[in-house]
Structure 1
Amino acid sequence: MRKLMIGLAVAAVLAGAVRAQDALTPNPQIQGIIQGQIDAFQSDDFVTAFDFASPGIKGTFRTPENFGAMVRQGYPMVWRPQDLRFGPLREIDGALWQQVLIEDAAGKRFVVEYRMEQVDGVWRISGVQVVPASGLSA
């Protein structure tokens, strides 16, 4: 499944853009959750950043400190983005995925796909995947 999702993201990058009919109406609540988590990362506030995660993510990492260490090591472009812009929101296999175009401090560009899940009526981040996107401008 992961390879399929990475393949879909790469195909979108190579095509230059997601076709208009594939994109859903932007959701300000979803964008706000993602922006809130990134803002918390930039302040090294891993307790707040952890609050934006789904129960599954919380169960996997168990503490904000473990979660923060994973983000710093595995997702430095999310921990300290230089620039970010929201791309399309898409539904894939019944799940909502919000694309975010991120440029890191070194100027490298990434397409970051956030899998979103509603928990008690509130959006939470239930997964993230990153695809280098050297051809995109952030």
Structure 2
Amino acid sequence: MPENPESIGIWSRNRDVGQQCTKGPFRTRESSYSFISDVLNYGGLKMRRQIGIALLITAGLFGSPAASQDGKDEVAGLAQNIIAQQINAFLNDDAKAAYSLASPEIKSVFPNAERFFDMVKKTYAPVYRPGNYAFGRNQISKDGTVAFQEVLISAPDGKDWAVYYELKKQQDGSFAINGVRMKRETSSQGI
């Protein structure tokens, strides 16, 4: 409790004008500390627990978005790494390596690496032989199990494409490419 329960306003009735301010917004650090300790001592253990719980909840609320963003950044990085590995496999004509990065759903449609590789050559020529490529926007599902990644590709013929990859999280925690959609990018100024 305050030293003098009859104190009024900022100054106590019993204090000289030259003494430190003990109440209101002008109190010193020392008097602020004593005010807080007075409140804690007055409220006892119950109040200390409530303040502690409130601080933990506040820290949890403010800590979650950063942790959540870190997780999304990590998934986006994994997705970009897998896409880059597959593009490198295409550039090196390594059908097995490119096929190994496809999801089980894709592998069920194309049961071997050669059929998959032939399909990519015929249908996705800019992905098979990109001139240049750069990663664009990405989006991660709320549960972190699906990643969408835009890749901007300049094909060897000079045409620009926006390629949208879908990657799904596998049982072992890794991601695999589950689909690709291409769109001719007519407004691009090149990469």
Task: Provide closer, same or farther for how the CA distance between residues 82 and 39 of structure 1 changes in structure 2, counting only shifts above 3 A.
Answer: same
**Mapped partners of 1:96, 1:40: distance in 2:** 21
Query: Please, what TM-score do these two structures have when normalized by structure 2?
Result: 0.57
- Amino acid aligned to 1:105: P
| Structure 1 unaligned regions, length at least 5 | 1-23
| Structure 2 unaligned regions, length at least 5 | 1-71
Match of 2:156 in 1: 105
Match of 2:165 in 1: 114
- Between 1 and 2, higher relative CO (CA 8 Å, sep ≥ 6) is seen in 1
Larger Rg computed on CA atoms: 2
- CA RMSD, Structure 1 to Structure 2 (Å): 1.7
Match of 2:102 in 1: 53
Hey, which of these two has a bigger chunk of helix by percent?
A: 2
Q: Give the % identical residues.
A: 34
Alignment: residue pair count: 115
- Amino acid aligned to 1:34: I
Q: Is the 1:25–1:89 Cα contact (8 Å) retained in structure 2? A: no
Residue pairs, 1:1-138, within 5 angstroms? 25=73, 27-91=76-140, 95-119=146-170, 120-136=172-188, 137-138=190-191
Hey, which of these two has a bigger chunk of strand by percent?
A: 1
List 4+ stretches of structure 1 deviating above 4 A.
91-94
